[in-house]
């Protein structure tokens, strides 16, 4: 008995394309309910006030000044505003190798960093840590939106 016959049927009984469609349909019937039933539930606890510390790295001085003047920001696609409590321009430092092979701490003369602290509604219960309606965590890269849009690194999250 041959594996495929002249009409493309598997073991002479079922068409191989039909078998592929049946297997795809069976996989969908199993995976869709699994994904729906195993989702992590959203936190139903009331939102608490969360303070987030963000580092905006390697921006030109003009952008840094615009970031420091901003009073309200949004994280990523979040729709809940965060109030900026402090914004500080900090020098961007790096390790530089000298001609003698020594490592010295240098300062970038073209770009700078901005340290932002902001407060807003959020939840600090893992695994659903949210700030301003955006899922995030320490070490995550987020987009900070206001009149300008910059990338930032989340340095700290805590209850305010």
Higher pLDDT, 37 or 71: 71
pLDDT band at 38; cut points 50, 70, 90 = confident
pLDDT at 86: 97
pLDDT at 110: 94
Asked if the model's pLDDT at residue 94 lies above 80, the reply is: yes
DSSP helix/strand/coil, 36? helix
pLDDT at 52: 96
Mean pLDDT score of the chain, rounded to an integer? 88
**CA angle 146–147–153, rounded 5-degree value:** 45
pLDDT at 42: 55
pLDDT band at 60; cut points 50, 70, 90 = very high
**pTM for this predicted structure:** 0.70
Largest separation between any pair of C-alpha atoms in the chain: 79
- Note if the bond before 66 is cis, omega within 30 degrees: no
8 A C-beta contact, residue 75 and residue 81: no
pLDDT at 99: 93
Bridge partner residues of 115 (DSSP):
55, 88
Q: What is the DSSP letter of 157?
A: E
- Note if the bond before 104 is cis, omega within 30 degrees: no
| 147 phi, psi to nearest 5 deg | -65, -25
Other C-beta atoms within 10 Å of 111: how many?
A: 14
- Percent of all residues in the chain with a pLDDT value above 90, rounded to a whole number: 58
d(CA 111, CA 58) in angstroms, rounded, equals 5
Name the residue among 51, 84, 96 with its Cα closest to residue 150: 84
């Amino acid at each position: 008995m041959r594996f495929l016959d002249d009409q493309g049927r598997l073991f002479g009984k079922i068409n191989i394309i039909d078998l592929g469609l049946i297997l795809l349909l069976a996989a969908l019937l199993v995976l869709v309910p699994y994904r729906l039933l195993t989702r992590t539930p959203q936190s139903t606890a009331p939102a608490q006030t969360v303070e987030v510390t963000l580092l905006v790295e390697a921006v030109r001085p003009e952008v840094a000044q615009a970031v420091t003047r901003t009073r309200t920001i949004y994280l990523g696609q979040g729709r809940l505003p965060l109030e900026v409590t402090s914004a500080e321009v900090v020098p961007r430092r790096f390790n530089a190798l000298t001609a003698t092979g020594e490592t010295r701490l240098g300062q970038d003369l073209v770009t700078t960093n901005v340290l932002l602290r902001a407060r807003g509604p959020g939840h600090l219960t893992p695994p659903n840590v949210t700030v301003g309606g955006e899922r995030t965590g320490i070490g995550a890269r987020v987009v900070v939106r206001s009149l300008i849009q910059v990338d930032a690194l989340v340095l700290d999250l805590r209850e305010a």
